[in-house]
Structure 1
Amino acid sequence: MITIYSEELKKQLSQKLFSCYFLIGNESLLIQESIDMIVFYALNYGFEEHLRITLNLQTDWDMLFFKFQSLNLFNQRTILTLQFPINGLNRTISEQLVKLTSLLHNDILLLLNINKLSKKQENTIWFKKLSTQAVLVFCHPPEPTELFHWIMKRIKKMGMVIEDSAVKLLCYLYEGNLLGLSVVLTHLSLLWPNKTLTIKEIKNVANNTENFTPFDWINAILEGQSKKTLLILYYLKKENIEIVLLFRILQQDLLTLLYLKRNKNKQSLFKRMELHNVWKNRRSAFIKALQRLNYFQLQKAIHLLAQLELSLKQHSNQNFWLELEKLSLILCHGDFPMSFTND
């Protein structure tokens, strides 16, 4: 199996399209860019349909297996992206994955999005079978010490020129928020396509351009800033941001908070945050959330979020933006009414 980093994916795809790609990591920007790049190259091989499925206890495996068999029958080339559970796989899902690998054929391009690959998963039957014809792509965010060089490579690829001092300002403003950084770089390239950019232009875009990202919404929740949370959520809705993306990002930070609560007697809080990759510029917000929310409330919020995602997959007529607004306010105030704390 070939192992590469996300920035090396384009070179690999230009050489050969493999039948399976493991996308390892929790950086949503790098994951999405990797998927988009694979889909783009796969079009040249006749892969026109793209199915996305999140694996959980409600996954309709019979439907999935039937789809595999029908694709083989009609020679319809399809890309299948499987989103693994953040908490890992249970025995049922692992067993079904073994069966799924036996049904794979040349008309299916398999993309597996895994938050963290464990040694236990590497030793499974399904992993060993897939890895013989696979590429493993690491989609982890750059470390703070590497962020400057990461931005420099990105702006060079975009054909931009930015002074070192301005790049350092971008590092300060967008550490831990690659999605927001990506949006700002795109705005800068459109506003000043043929200019060497300075701190002045960076501040101009950062201060005057309404460029809220899902991470701004999450940070406002952690800080307990209810008005700002609703303002950003309204903007994200207006910009047609995929609500599933918001579910995933919120779930990730809630699980981190739960971990920090659960292991509070084992190590210092700052050591635990460091081990769980909580960026320095977000730690004060995490501390505020930990002081405001107890273990039971975090568990309940994660459960509510899972219910919303399940309802969304079942094409419910529920107003999901309104429900997300309610959950956001509850998390901001730490006040869970009885209707939210009872099943």
Structure 2
Amino acid sequence: MRVYPEKLAGQLQQQLLPVYLISGDEPLLVQECCDQVRQAARNAGCSDREIIDSGAPGFKWDEIIASASAMSLFADRKLVELRVPSGKPGTEGSKALVEYLQVSEGSDDVLLIIAGKIDKQSTNSKWYKALDAAGATVQVWPVDARDLPRWLQQRVSAAGMAIDNEALQLLCERVEGNLLAAVQEVEKLQLLAEDGQITAATVTASVSNNARYNLFDMTDSALKGNAAGSLKMLHGLRGEGTEPAVALWALLREIRTLHQARQAVDSGQNPQQALSALRVWKNRMSLMQGALGRHSRASLNRLLEQATAVDGSIKGFAGGKPWDNLETLILELAGARR
């Protein structure tokens, strides 16, 4: 059955289903939905957690079938997390998912599938319909500029605070549609707001109290072609304790946007239209157009491959050190390869 992200918590309180498919290209909201399922699974007695990544080198879809077949060997309930970054399992994966549901029928274990954006055509496929019938499908959509004020208002209220219109507008401009930055700002405002009331002065104080190095400034510096400045910020972030996975997320978010825009431009669309269709904010348009002009489809393909190498080194199945690989990624994004 289809469950909207905002309704997921209520559904989990009523019943823990055997299968959850959470998909989308907004990392923060996908992560929050997954955390809700994980917590519900733990509360229901799933003391074991198995992670299967379909994007890992050497992965075979037999692994998910083997997991289902091995369920009877464990006394405790298990949460199986299957990661499908592309959102498309392919022919072999489609068959494996349907077979998993058949083999695991009657089991107390829970399958959590975390996928990238799933297109409309895939929602009509056999594997998607089978998962929807067996459990819950949760499609996460990005929060656009029109909905951002309402989304931020809800976040502020959930944190036990109130915000006036001027402060809300300033906060929206500050986070520029980046939900992770928005959540971080709300957390900081909790420390600064007097009597739980956020004003424009509160937001301004929060901005001035930012850490010396900022993830999004680092990424913007690379997009401008400033390799030295971006590397300095990367080193600063590392010194401040930032996880390499978070730095990768910030960079990969923009690389994917550029890659999609380049495909559209190569098909005949003008750059501004292509970027607007990808929900790039107007105040970032010049920055992104400049970066798009420096990169071809081939160079952006290389950037995606390098990002995969960074991810692999973070997870331990690829060579190199994560921070060294991140440096290479930044240099290539800035157009100053080693």
Short-chain TM bin: 0.7 to 0.9
Aligned 1:240-319 pairs, distance under 5 A: 240-264=241-265, 265-315=267-317, 318-319=320-321
Q: Is the 8 A contact 1:54 1:84 kept in 2?
A: yes
Deviation, 1:34, is 1.1
Give ranges in structure 2 of 5+ residues lacking alignment: none
For residue 83 of structure 1, what is the aligned residue in structure 2?
Answer: 83
Which whole-Å deviations, capped at 9, do the CAs of 1:140-188 have from their partners, x for residues lacking one?
Answer: 2222111111111111111012222111100111122110110111111
For residues 233 and 58 of structure 2, the distance between their equivalents in structure 1, rounded to whole angstroms, comes to: 31
* Partner-residue secondary structure (3-state), 1:255: helix
For residue 138 of structure 2, what is the aligned residue in structure 1?
Answer: 137
Give ranges in structure 1 of 5+ residues lacking alignment: 338-343
AA partner of residue 21 (structure 2): F
For residue 117 of structure 2, what is the aligned residue in structure 1?
Answer: 116
For residues 267 and 288 of structure 1, the distance between their equivalents in structure 2, rounded to whole angstroms, comes to: 16
Which whole-Å deviations, capped at 9, do the CAs of 1:113-137 have from their partners, x for residues lacking one?
Answer: 2322224322333222211132222
In the alignment, does 2:18 pair up with 1:19? yes
Q: Is the 8 A contact 1:50 1:80 kept in 2?
A: yes
Identical-pair percentage: 27
For residue 34 of structure 2, what is the aligned residue in structure 1?
Answer: 35
For residue 43 of structure 2, what is the aligned residue in structure 1?
Answer: 44
For residues 200 and 259 of structure 2, the distance between their equivalents in structure 1, rounded to whole angstroms, comes to: 39
Which whole-Å deviations, capped at 9, do the CAs of 1:55-114 have from their partners, x for residues lacking one?
Answer: 236324444433333333213322222222337343333333333333334332222223
AA partner of residue 184 (structure 1): E
Would you identify which runs of 4 or more consecutive aligned residues in structure 1 move more than 6 Å? none
For residue 7 of structure 1, what is the aligned residue in structure 2?
Answer: 6
AA partner of residue 173 (structure 2): Y
For residue 165 of structure 1, what is the aligned residue in structure 2?
Answer: 166
For residues 168 and 235 of structure 2, the distance between their equivalents in structure 1, rounded to whole angstroms, comes to: 30
AA partner of residue 31 (structure 2): Q
For residues 211 and 110 of structure 2, the distance between their equivalents in structure 1, rounded to whole angstroms, comes to: 38
For residues 27 and 302 of structure 1, the distance between their equivalents in structure 2, rounded to whole angstroms, comes to: 18
Q: Is the 8 A contact 1:174 1:180 kept in 2?
A: yes
Number of aligned positions between the proteins: 335
* Partner-residue secondary structure (3-state), 1:145: coil
Alignment TM-score, normalising by the size of structure 2: 0.88
For residues 249 and 174 of structure 1, the distance between their equivalents in structure 2, rounded to whole angstroms, comes to: 13
AA partner of residue 161 (structure 1): A
* Partner-residue secondary structure (3-state), 1:3: coil
- The two structures, once aligned, show a CA RMSD in angstroms of 2.6
Q: Is the 8 A contact 1:81 1:112 kept in 2?
A: yes
For residues 198 and 210 of structure 1, the distance between their equivalents in structure 2, rounded to whole angstroms, comes to: 21
For residue 341 of structure 1, what is the aligned residue in structure 2?
Answer: none
For residues 167 and 7 of structure 2, the distance between their equivalents in structure 1, rounded to whole angstroms, comes to: 26
Greater shift, 161-170 or 244-253, is seen at 244-253
* Partner-residue secondary structure (3-state), 2:269: coil
For residues 92 and 248 of structure 1, the distance between their equivalents in structure 2, rounded to whole angstroms, comes to: 29
AA partner of residue 299 (structure 1): N
For residues 271 and 36 of structure 2, the distance between their equivalents in structure 1, rounded to whole angstroms, comes to: 38
Match of 1:321 among 320, 323, 331: 323
Q: Is the 8 A contact 1:163 1:198 kept in 2?
A: yes
For residues 137 and 284 of structure 2, the distance between their equivalents in structure 1, rounded to whole angstroms, comes to: 29
Q: Is the 8 A contact 1:219 1:282 kept in 2?
A: no
* Partner-residue secondary structure (3-state), 1:86: coil
Aligned 1:97-108 pairs, distance under 5 A: 97-105=97-105, 106-108=107-109
Q: Is the 8 A contact 2:61 2:93 kept in 1?
A: no
AA partner of residue 329 (structure 1): L
